[in-house]
């Protein structure tokens, strides 16, 4: 039994994060504190003035827990991670927490590449963006690669120059083959510099190069190529035209606009780079009861910029943050960026007008998408509520479904798919290679999958509770409902595992008819009918199909991997490294079969003895003997 008053006495005078739990032991609020003792005690002190939201939240708290950190900054980072992980009811939450694409230029390499990126790696590459359209990013990269012929391969240059033949891009005149040493690093870098100029906002050089190439192609009567350059030129100019907002300086900033009503809020961001708007994006926020605008904007900044690969020098905000929040967020963003970041509240001039414009855009989006949001809510959260009603449950947020795939009992695999608020959470999907089960025993296979999943989860929860671990594990979150692919038998297997581990999680079975279509739900020893035209039925069908798809896709991947090099695996002295080197050098088994011993020896890591083994393997029983090769 949790003794609230006793636990309040034990709170330390230290920075950290606290988690409030509700009646179902779900996390309903996550917060951070400079002093855990002072902050958490405030919630339960009658003399403390509380907002309506806080009063309601406290009335549902059954227990709390906390994690001590070494600093306020560490507490802020952990708070962001825990809010994303638990999606607490009383925290402001991004409804669509997705990442947006960037262009990555690997300037740290002798022969840099121009690549598509979703996240920022800890390297010395230059990142440009974010961009709102993945298609636009890919089109831009395609234009730059075609014009400046930058490489796309992963070869280690200049170390691997001339170690292998050039790839197909060289044959198609899409790359100058630096892998063969056909041009110096200086020549290659000059082309990359032109690409960087364009990405930094100076498109004059690129437009000039395209116009010259179009003219040269036309003069040489290569009209098809001239038309291609013309189309590229049109695309580049279109990109330039879309950059409507301009500034007198060349600094980088994000302009944040904000609008809300009683139920929801929208944040609109304009991405300004080199004085031009290179993109914009909007985000929906859940609106907790009685939450102030300043608190919502602060929560948004922590969630969004905690996951984006690029942070600009300035953020222009529509409302002034609390002094403590401002100090913490500026310090945190500065640490993430590796350079000073300022929060700015424009009061006049062009900068103020930009923030107002972003706010107007947010308000328009809020009005325009109201009906769309209602439909999406019915399809997701509304569907979950229908399932709750059918099963007599409350508080279902996270649902996990499992499936098994095998071929005649061979290479058995398991899948775990996760849905939260009726939407797939693909980051939490998991695959299992079965280790203990032999033959086609679906019940034993499912038992192994569930036992591994929840044993891992319990161990991770214990580590977090013991403060041995401050990062969240891959299995730490448990579902509010387990969905088994099948009826009574599969449900009983799951209940057996949960009982053994002393876990209390509801389990239902997704029952199919004779045509392998979803028919209903098996729960508490009975099949519960559900309207086949309802959103709840549609969600159960989607979850069941997704678990099956994920399992069978993984199984096909494994089968493919095991078949690709099976012949080479039978040759003495050929392990994974040599097998890979042979396939990279010869590109096909037929080419390896046709190779002579001297040709085989040329392959990286191959010795003469191993080359003979390969040659003998492919020429057993033929007239082409080893003696003839050696003579």
DSSP state of 208: H
95 within domain boundaries: no
pLDDT in the model for residue 247: 42
Given a cut of 70, whether residue 624 has pLDDT beyond it is no
DSSP state of 320: P
509 within domain boundaries: yes
Given a cut of 80, whether residue 559 has pLDDT beyond it is no
461-482 pLDDT, tens digit per residue, is 888 777 655 556 788 899 999 9
How far apart CA 284 and CA 291 sit, in angstroms, is 15
pTM above 0.85, yes or no: no
State whether 557 and 601 are in the same domain: no
303-331 pLDDT, tens digit per residue, is 888 767 678 899 999 999 989 889 999 99
pLDDT in the model for residue 565: 45
State whether 413 and 487 are in the same domain: yes
377 within domain boundaries: no
373 within domain boundaries: no
Among 29-43, 163-177, 194-208, 226-240, the minimum mean pLDDT is found in 226-240
State whether 306 and 415 are in the same domain: no
Please count the other Cβ atoms lying within 10 Å of the Cβ belonging to residue 591: 13
- Pick the last residue of a domain from 86, 116, 133: 86
376 within domain boundaries: no
State whether 263 and 225 are in the same domain: no
Range of the domain at 280: 253-368
Query: Can you give the CATH number for the domain in which 79 is found?
Result: 3.40.1440.10
State whether 386 and 502 are in the same domain: yes
Please count the other Cβ atoms lying within 10 Å of the Cβ belonging to residue 508: 25
State whether 117 and 77 are in the same domain: no
Contact 8, 40 (CB under 8 A): yes
How far apart CA 522 and CA 490 sit, in angstroms, is 10
604 within domain boundaries: yes
How far apart CA 271 and CA 245 sit, in angstroms, is 10
pLDDT in the model for residue 100: 62
Contact 482, 523 (CB under 8 A): no
- Nearest Cα neighbor of 523 from 555, 561, 488, 489 is 488
pLDDT in the model for residue 243: 43
State whether 510 and 534 are in the same domain: yes
Contacts of 133 (CB under 8 A, 6+ apart): 101, 279
pLDDT in the model for residue 245: 41
- Pick the last residue of a domain from 520, 541, 561: 561
State whether 543 and 433 are in the same domain: yes
- Nearest Cα neighbor of 211 from 236, 245, 179 is 236
State whether 571 and 557 are in the same domain: no
Query: Can you give the CATH number for the domain in which 325 is found?
Result: 3.30.420
- Pick the last residue of a domain from 335, 368, 401: 368
Angle at 527 between CA 550 and CA 23, to 5 degrees: 80
Given a cut of 60, whether residue 161 has pLDDT beyond it is yes
pLDDT in the model for residue 159: 81
326-360 pLDDT, tens digit per residue, is 999 999 999 888 889 999 999 988 889 889 989 99
* pLDDT-based confidence at residue 244 (cuts at 50, 70, 90): very low
State whether 167 and 213 are in the same domain: yes
State whether 263 and 154 are in the same domain: no
If one counts the domains in the chain, the total is: 5
- Nearest Cα neighbor of 270 from 258, 285, 284 is 258
Q: Where are the alpha helices (DSSP H) in 11-109?
A: 36-43, 52-60, 72-86
467: left (phi over 0), alpha (psi -120 to 50) or beta: left
97 within domain boundaries: no
Query: Can you give the CATH number for the domain in which 443 is found?
Result: 3.30.420.340
pLDDT mean over 98-112: 82
N-term to C-term CA, the chain? 86
pLDDT mean over 241-257: 62
121 within domain boundaries: yes
State whether 416 and 519 are in the same domain: yes
Query: Can you give the CATH number for the domain in which 589 is found?
Result: 1.10.150.20
């Amino acid at each position: 039994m949790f003794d609230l008053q006793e636990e309040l006495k034990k709170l330390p005078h230290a920075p950290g994060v606290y988690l409030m739990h509700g009646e179902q032991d779900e996390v309903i609020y996550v917060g951070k504190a400079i002093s855990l003792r002072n902050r958490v005690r405030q919630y339960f002190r009658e003399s403390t003035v509380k907002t309506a939201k806080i009063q309601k939240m406290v009335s549902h708290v059954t227990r709390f827990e906390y994690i001590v950190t070494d600093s306020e900054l560490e507490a802020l980072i952990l708070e962001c991670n825990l809010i994303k992980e638990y999606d607490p009811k009383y925290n402001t939450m991004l409804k669509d927490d997705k990442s947006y694409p960037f262009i990555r230029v690997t300037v740290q390499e002798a022969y840099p590449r121009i690549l598509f990126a979703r996240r920022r790696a800890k390297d010395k590459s230059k990142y440009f963006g974010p961009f709102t359209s993945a298609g636009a990013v890919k089109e831009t990269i395609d234009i730059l690669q075609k014009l400046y012929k930058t490489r796309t391969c992963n070869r280690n240059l200049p170390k691997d120059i001339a170690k292998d033949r050039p790839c197909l891009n060289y044959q198609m005149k899409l790359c100058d083959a630096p892998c063969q040493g056909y041009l110096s690093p200086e020549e290659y870098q000059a082309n990359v510099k032109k690409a960087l100029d364009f990405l930094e906002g100076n498109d004059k050089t690129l437009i000039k190069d395209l116009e010259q190439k179009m003219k040269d192609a036309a003069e040489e009567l290569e009209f098809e190529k001239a038309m291609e350059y013309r189309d590229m030129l049109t695309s580049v100019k279109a990109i330039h035209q879309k950059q409507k907002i301009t500034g007198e300086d060349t600094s980088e900033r994000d302009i944040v606009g904000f609008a809300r009503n009683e139920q929801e809020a929208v944040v609109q961001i304009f991405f300004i780079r080199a004085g031009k708007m290179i993109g914009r994006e909007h985000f929906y926020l859940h609106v907790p009861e009685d939450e102030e605008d300043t608190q919502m904007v602060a929560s948004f900044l922590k969630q969004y910029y905690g996951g984006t690969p690029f942070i600009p020098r300035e953020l222009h905000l529509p409302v002034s943050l609390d002094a403590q929040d401002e100090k913490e967020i500026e310090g945190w963003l500065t640490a993430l960026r590796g350079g000073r970041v300022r929060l700015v509240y424009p009061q006049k001039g062009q900068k103020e007008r930009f923030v107002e414009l972003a706010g107007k855009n947010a308000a328009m989006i809020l009005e325009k998408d109201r009906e769309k949001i209602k439909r999406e809510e019915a399809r997701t959260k509304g569907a979950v509520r229908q399932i709750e009603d059918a099963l007599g449950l409350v508080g279902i947020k996270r649902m996990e479904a499992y499936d098994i795939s095998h071929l005649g009992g061979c290479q058995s695999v398991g899948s775990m798919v996760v849905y939260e608020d009726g939407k797939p959470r693909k980051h939490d999907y998991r695959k299992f290679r079965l280790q203990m089960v032999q033959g086609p025993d679906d019940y034993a296979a499912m038992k192994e999958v569930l036992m591994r999943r929840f044993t891992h989860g319990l161990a991770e929860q214990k580590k977090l509770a013991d403060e041995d671990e401050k990062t969240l594990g891959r299995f730490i979150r448990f579902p509010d409902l387990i969905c088994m692919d099948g009826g009574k038998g599969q449900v009983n297997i799951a209940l057996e595992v949960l009982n053994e581990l002393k876990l209390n999680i509801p389990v239902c079975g997704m029952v199919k008819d004779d045509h392998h279509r979803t028919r209903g739900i098996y729960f508490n020893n009975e099949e519960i009918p559900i309207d086949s035209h309802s959103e709840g039925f549609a969600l159960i069908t989607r979850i069941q199909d997704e678990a099956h798809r994920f399992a069978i896709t993984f199984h096909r991947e494994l089968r493919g991997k095991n078949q690709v090099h099976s012949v080479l695996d039978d040759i003495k002295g050929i392990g994974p490294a040599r097998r890979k080197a042979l396939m990279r050098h010869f590109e096909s088994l037929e080419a390896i079969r046709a190779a002579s011993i001297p040709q085989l020896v040329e392959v990286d890591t191959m010795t003469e003895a191993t080359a003979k083994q390969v040659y003998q393997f492919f020429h057993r029983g033929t007239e082409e003997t080893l003696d003839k090769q050696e003579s």
